[in-house]
Amino acid sequence: MNPVTSKDMAFTYDRKGLSNKELLGLYKKMLLPRMIEEKMLVLLRQGKISKWFSGIGQEAIAVGVASALEKDEYILPMHRNLGVFTTREVPLHRLFSQWQGKAGGFTGGRDRSFHFGTQEYRIVGMISHLGPQMGVADGIALAHKIRKEQKITAVFTGEGGTSEGDFHEALNVAAVWDLPVLFCVENNGYGLSTPVEEQFKCKNLADKGAGYGMEAHIIDGNNILDIYNKVSELTESMRKDPRPVLLEFKTFRRRGHEEASGTKYVPAELMEYWEARDPIAHYSEFLTREGILSGEKDKLLRQQMTAAIQENLKKAFDEAPVTFDEERELGNVYGKFEYRETVPGPSMKNIRLVDAVSQGLEQAMERFDDLVVMGQDIAEYGGVFKVTEGFAEKFGRERVRNTPICESAIVSAAMGLSINRMKAVVEMQFADFVSTGFNPLVNYLAKVHYRWGQHADVVVRMPCGAGVGAGPFHSQTNEAWFTKTPGLKVVYPAFPYDAKGLLATAIEDPNPVLFFEHKALYRSIYQEVPEDYYTLPLGKASVLREGNDITVISYGAGIHWALEALEEHQEIGVDLIDLRTLQPLDTETIFTSVRKTGKVIILQEDTLFGGVASDISAMIVENCFEHLDAPVQRVGSLETPVPFAGALEEGFLPRQRFKAALHRLLVY
């Protein structure tokens, strides 16, 4: 790069009618995060904070965007957007407590840095996986659009984050649905140490907007007035004409990805170039030329900010360290939910499991007008299993939404709907496809209440299971992927009555629920089901048969295999337990039965190793060992993917192996 000249550094500032007070206000808003950062770097060197992600040199972007938005419009910032928090006037002592892991922060010591949200200030912090927050912004904006509120949502990412699939999915969904989302990309030169030329091939990231049919602009990320004026103009337009806009801010990261990384990989002349384009220094010179800022006034501002920083730091440092309380920690994994039983009237109808799911969902849509259902082909087509047939006509396309094939963005959007005071049900076309939406489920929805007290009012419907000749990609029963993850609830009914009542409760519950529905049971299992809306409690198993010889524990299709075997051998006295809910698990019913019979078989459709049966077996051994008269038996499918051909699938499934295990245990 050629030597830097004063001509290269020329900034053009357009006031566009802004008053002197407004111009000075923008300077103050940039100066405060800069001074906080400078203090944090000192504290980091002193070992008084553990980590820091610097945004020095990028203050104009966060401040400009936050200043252009209304205070009740959501912003989803990143590591280097301290200016968003200070512009929104988040109390400094709470920020400092957050960074020190103190209880006075926003996560009570459970997370660090900017990994938090606050409804009071309409800020939703990022997670380290970066991408999901763009889909969350889609959901927040969707809620505004459905309620016909003229509000926009702004979400930040870096140039590195644009390589993630979530970026593509979120922009695509926002464009298809005309969502008022401002996608702010801070192109700051490096993703950790990887330069932009090794991250993307297009000349400008804004060029990607055309591929989504989306308006896009490039803005000088170091010019506060360019940012504030352009974003103000766009947001005013977007409120009246809802649509997404992609903004690329050209800027530079002048310190390491985080301080420990350093900047040795940055050429000296490149660093010199961007240091000479410092947004605060240049804007200060402009204000001085305009007679708005003097050296004396600047000095006074800095003194006042230094005093405020010191005062709030002292408050945070004086706060006692967090202490561990096991009951409190476990009690904050899930949001509070007080189950209230809803009893139906006497009218009953003999229906299939698929009808019960459809009826339960339809009645929930009637009961909760803030409930939105999303999924592939669920509108006019009614979904591949016709669960939502007729819903679009009855409830409208705003609430019954066909989605692109964007599982990750749609799960994230469901989270956004919850943040913005709505409910969401997402239909996975097949449970197998949840793998492409796995990240937001296990890293965002599952952890969001534990981290900062935000509920995730989301149900993900999971058509699952083998026995229908659907092969390796449409037949899994993958509940164990989620029972392992604290913060998720997992429901798996085997009968129409349970399916309808448990689905109603899952939708009422403000916590994220994976609701498994076995495809082979959809149209083969009938039952008398109340026609009215009703609820059933989560975490309560059903004892279908009672006996003294053996306890059989199962769920889903396994229950019907067990019933089939027991019909052939009615001489065996069996306690047959249908778990119904896998998380939370009804251990009381399990242990009571095992202590009575002394023998137990746990039957699951999932492959054996690492499945739910393994954990239940361990719990029984730990809690009921002295009552056991035989080893705990686990029966599951073969350790292979689910095969397609009928004979192979039948051999894969544990139906016949269960019968053999039952006889072995009886004579043990």
Q: Which residues are catalytic?
A: 474
Token pair recorded at residue 137: 């912004």
Token pair recorded at residue 138: 């889609």
Total residue count of the chain as it appears in this document: 668
| Rounded CA separation 191/180 (Å) | 27
Q: Under 8 Å CB-to-CB from 610, ≥6 apart: which residues?
A: 480
Residue in 243, 648, 269 with CA at minimum distance from that of residue 475: 648
| Rounded CA separation 315/310 (Å) | 9
Helix and strand numbers (H, E) in the chain are 24, 23
Residue in 461, 661, 632 with CA at minimum distance from that of residue 561: 661
Which three-class secondary structure state does DSSP give residue 374?
A: strand
Backbone angles phi, psi at 80, to 5 degrees: -100, 25
Q: Which helix (H) or strand (E) holds 470?
A: none
CA angle 153, 154, 156 (to 5 degrees): 150
| Rounded CA separation 428/411 (Å) | 10
Backbone angles phi, psi at 257, to 5 degrees: -50, -50
Which three-class secondary structure state does DSSP give residue 405?
A: coil
Backbone angles phi, psi at 433, to 5 degrees: -75, -5
316 within 8 A of 104, measured Cβ to Cβ: yes
| Rounded CA separation 354/387 (Å) | 7
Residue in 218, 349, 284, 234 with CA at minimum distance from that of residue 59: 284
Residue in 170, 54, 50, 156 with CA at minimum distance from that of residue 101: 50
Q: Under 8 Å CB-to-CB from 611, ≥6 apart: which residues?
A: 480, 604, 634, 636
Which three-class secondary structure state does DSSP give residue 243?
A: coil
Edge-to-edge order in the sheet of strand 489-491: 400-402, 371-375, 423-427, 458-464, 513-518, 489-491, 581-583
545 within 8 A of 593, measured Cβ to Cβ: no
Give the Å distances, CA to CA, from 508 to 368, 383, 466, 563: 9, 23, 29, 31
Pairing of strands 117-118, 75-76: unpaired
Beta-carbon neighbour count of residue 357 at 10 Å?
25
The residue type found at 139 is G
| Rounded CA separation 364/352 (Å) | 18
Query: Is there a cis peptide before residue 584, judged by omega within 30 degrees of 0?
Result: yes
Residue in 280, 306, 278 with CA at minimum distance from that of residue 293: 280
Q: At what angle do helices 407-419 and 132-146 cross, to 10 degrees?
A: 50
